[in-house]
Amino acid sequence: MRVVIDDKSGFCFGVVNAIEKAEGLLQQGEKIYCLGDIVHNQQEVARLEALGMVTINHDKYFQLSNCKVLLRAHGEPPATYAYARKNNIELIDGTCPVVLKLQQRVRKGYEDIKAQGGQLVLLGKKGHAEINGLNGQTGNLAIIVETEADIAEINADKPTLVFSQTTKSLDDFHRLGQKIKELVNAETDIKDTICRQVAHRAPHMIEFAAQHEVILFVSGKKSSNGKALFEICKSVNPNSYFISDVDELQSEWIKGKHSVGITGATSTPRWIMEKISNKLTKD
């Protein structure tokens, strides 16, 4: 049986950057907190926690002082930085450079559109860490559009500026953007702020899924990106299976098959895919 790991799957550079920052400090014996899961993959979180990293939520963060806290790739709102300055917290900023630049654009865009009596819209998942960080640049006054139903919250008579979560699918972005254009009578400016490293994985995934008899899609269950990419695989290759680790592998999926492709989300560590590959080739 031929087993191939997709060489374009796994961590995006923003995640790699955050994890390398964490590993560097942990190897020096530093005690660090991480604000939220460093990546939406529990095995990778557990690996780093075994090295000494402590994952905390925002409630816990706002009780800390005199310590080091890592900010993950998703980014944080201004309130997180303000609290750190007041409480002697050293922030190790692992915010993805693409997200950081978008935060700056949202902050300036909000000031400009507000001066025109307009509104700012964010296309993305409500409650997602990146969206929370972006909305914080507006004082949490942006309109969050996750589905077409949310478009009703937009005032059709106000100038409208639209940005997107960096990991949103291009199809969703264009579909929702068109609906907003159809609704708003005033000037509408829709910015394509999707990360191309993430967006380009979808067409590649279609090609990869078609090349193998079976696809094992490896992802944490919390990963929005993982859920979306898996659906793409499944639409191309019905013999696609979503697993988070090697213990979820079922022998009947690959019985009699000659070609298995292993791929994953932007939050999937390479070492988990390699562990699954080793299991298949060893058996």
Q: Which residues are catalytic?
A: 130
Neighbouring residues of 72: CB distance < 8 A, sequence distance ≥ 6: 18, 34, 35, 36, 37, 38, 39, 94, 95, 129
Residue 224 among known ligand-binding residues: yes
Task: Report the relative pairing of strands 143-145 and 160-164 from DSSP bridges.
Answer: unpaired
3-state secondary structure of 246: helix
Q: Is 223 annotated in some ligand binding site?
A: yes
Annotated ligand binding at 34? The verdict is no
The reply, when asked if residue 74 is annotated as ligand binding, is yes
- Residues 168 and 176: their CA atoms lie apart, in Å, by 11
Q: Is 174 annotated as a binding residue?
A: no
Residue 267 known to bind ligand: yes
166 annotated as ligand-binding: yes
* C-alpha of 65 from chain center: 28
3-state secondary structure of 139: coil
Residue 198: both structure tokens together: 């993430």
Give the Å distances, CA to CA, from 189 to 97, 164, 247: 23, 12, 48
Q: Which residues are annotated as a binding site for isopentenyl diphosphate?
A: 40, 74, 128, 223-225, 267
**Residues annotated as binding site?**
12, 40, 74, 96, 128, 166, 195, 223-225, 267
Residue ranges of the binding site for [4Fe-4S] cluster: 12, 96, 195
- Annotated binding site for dimethylallyl diphosphate: which residue ranges? 40, 74, 128, 223-225, 267
